[in-house]
Chain A
Amino acid sequence: MEKKPFWTLQRKQAAVAYLFLLIPLIFFLAIRIYPALDAFKTSFQVKGSQPFYYHYQAMLSDKVFSKALINTILYVVITVPLQMLIGLGLALLIQSLNKGRGIYRFIYFIPYVTSAVAVSWIWRWMYFKDLGVFNEILKFFGIPAQPFLTHPSQALISIAAVIIWQAVGFNMLIFLAGLEAIPKLYYEASAIDGANRRRTFFHITLPLLNPTIVFLAVTGVINSLQTFTQVLNMAGAQGGPLNSTKSLVVYIYNKAFLNFNMPYGAAMTVVLFLLILMITIIQIKFLSRSYEHS
């Protein structure tokens, strides 16, 4: 009877695979999975006779938390649709050009690659109430100076404008790629059918752009739920004035690292995580549509 060798080719390959994956698996477990569980655990860290859900309960009556939540939703609702619309508009315009596409593509993408920190300070300077260039331009047209970042009614929108300004280039680029991927065949067929520009756009272009739209909407929302850098640099760690610009992540940063209340901060990050998860699932469900290529 032949004895089968232990190290068959299959087993050898498996052994090498496990070798390749050893360090990576340790990494992912130690740096991604264990910390995620630890965040949950930290959020249940309570003192004395408090119930384990103490921090979650505290959130419900925390007025600053609700303000941060509302602000964050406002950031999402204001920035994502606008950056997608403007990005799509730019992509369509650029695609229709005979010459100069590359130049415009380059120019409009510049804000996206530049540091959000630097951009935040540049705009903060432009928004400056007394010496900023925006108010000087308004003065020139006889319009009174605007408080922009210094007034609760304008601060959030001022920051949202900067976020949109930076994100438009990315949306434009992805839409351009999506538009290029549409086979010319469809346009020719629709032209033969005598469809005008508007019909072609709404019945062919837009539906075929659906995967691109879903991608940009989902990533846009996830990113905007995490708004942090622009707020911290344009409005400070307090998300002022009067908490009017404070986003969830800014508040979390505040509580966890400035007030050293890590359990409460951790609880809020859990809520943020669930929020992102829930909204992403809803978005994918409602936005994705598959179209028959008949």
Chain B
Amino acid sequence: MVGTKTKSKTGQIIAHAILMLGTISVVFPFVWMILTSFKPLSEIYEFSVFPKHWTLDNFKFLLERTYFVRWFGNSVILAVIVTISELFFNSLIAYALAKMKFPGRNLIFILILSTLMVPTEMLVIPWYKLASQFGWIDTYWGIIFPGLMSGFGVFLLRQFMLGIPNDLIDAARIDGMSEFGIFWRVVLPQVKNALSALAVLVFLGNWNAYLWPVIAINSDKLRTLPVGISLFSAADDGQQWTLIMAASTLAVIPVIIVFFIFQRRIIEGISITGMK
């Protein structure tokens, strides 16, 4: 079990056996979620594995009688906007810090880096006060404004940009290219991997974001998917588990599908950030 390939066949079989057993513990909760979501409410009062009467009623209810579709849409819109914003601004900042010379460069870098130390929890109360003052509570802007740029993104991209040879950039400068032009056409293509890694992390983080959205949103229509499911499930006094599981199914399956399609990129992206 040292990390080199085991040559022996028994070793391989044992490894596969253990891993397959583990797979059951990973897959089982999702299978159970799906099975429950196809049962009519009456069936869960008596235990059974498979539904006796497969039904789509739970899904119909969610899609037609709740704002589920809006929650999903809100999450998509917000995650996309924030991801684009972070990619653009973080890389611009990183470029200035990595490849441009100006007084105060190190100071600004340290300032931005120091923001990493402060946990979100400490900021949500001031953010709430700020947003209330400006009437941003219960608006799209109110949900996304804290996440438009991040010290982490700046740090990551700067590290990658430092590795770009200066000759490339100096040559472009001599050619008379504007700094923005250099940033957009020379530097960005060179850090494509870092950008897609950051995109994955930011998108995922925003898709699953919970603490700030639950504070910043009041009305049902505006909820993001996690907030919507959470409040819907908790509010239900008799807790209709078939509905709750159906909601979870609709939330989880698209993500798994997207993950399956993009798995190489996603896995590479997350591994890169771990290494740096």
By a beta-carbon cutoff of 8 Å, the part of chain A in contact with chain B is: 10, 13-14, 16-18, 20-21, 23-25, 27-28, 31-36, 38-39, 42, 90, 92-98, 100, 102, 104-111, 113-119, 121-123, 125-126, 128, 131, 133, 136, 165, 170, 173-174, 176-179, 181-182, 184, 187, 197, 200-201, 205, 212, 215, 222, 226, 228-229, 232-233, 236, 249, 252-253, 256-257, 262, 265-266, 269-270, 272-273, 276-277
Contact = CB atoms under 8 A, between A and B. Distances in A.
B179 interface: yes
B226 A105 contact: no
B146 interface: yes
Given A36-B118, A98-B5, A125 B245 contact: yes
A113 B204 contact: yes
> 9 closest pairs, A vs B, by CB?
A35-B126, A14-B102, A118-B248, A177-B271, A32-B115, A269-B122, A38-B126, A174-B274, A117-B226
A214 B103 CA distance: 34
Interface of B: 1-6, 11-12, 15-16, 18-19, 22-23, 25-27, 29-30, 32-33, 36, 44-45, 47, 89, 92-93, 95-96, 100-103, 105, 108, 111-112, 115, 117-130, 145-146, 148-149, 151, 178-180, 204, 207-208, 210-211, 215, 225-227, 229-230, 233-234, 241, 244-245, 247-248, 251-252, 255-256, 259-260, 263, 266-267, 270-271, 274-275
Given A16-B100, A118-B248, A96 B226 contact: no
16 contacts: A14-B100, A20-B180, A31-B123, A32-B115, A90-B22, A92-B2, A93-B19, A97-B12, A116-B210, A118-B229, A131-B44, A173-B270, A187-B4, A201-B1, A233-B230, A272-B121
A106 to B, nearest CB: 5
A96 B259 contact: no
Contacts of A136: 47
Given A16-B178, A92-B2, 12 more contacts: A36-B118, A97-B5, A108-B22, A117-B229, A117-B230, A122-B30, A122-B33, A125-B36, A165-B25, A266-B126, A273-B117, A273-B121
A223 to B, nearest CB: 10
Nearest to A169: B26
Contacts of A131: 44-45, 47, 241
Contact of A38 (B95, B115, B129): B129
Nearest to A37: B126
B92 A201 contact: no
A27 B102 CA distance: 20
Contact of B96 (A10, A17, A122, A269): A17
A33 to B, nearest CB: 7
A213 to B, nearest CB: 11
Given A13-B101, A262-B125, A269-B125, A32 B151 contact: yes
A113 B271 contact: no
Contacts of A23: 89
A205 B2 contact: yes
A211 to B, nearest CB: 9
B252 A115 contact: yes
B237 to A, nearest CB: 13
Nearest to A188: B4
A126 B119 contact: no
Given A42-B125, A96-B6, A187-B2, A181 B15 contact: no
Contacts of A27: 89, 148-149
Given A28-B111, A35-B126, A96 B1 contact: yes
A155 B33 CA distance: 21
A109 B229 contact: no
A96 B11 contact: yes
A178 B275 CA distance: 7
A179 B45 CA distance: 48
B121 A122 contact: no
B248 A179 contact: no
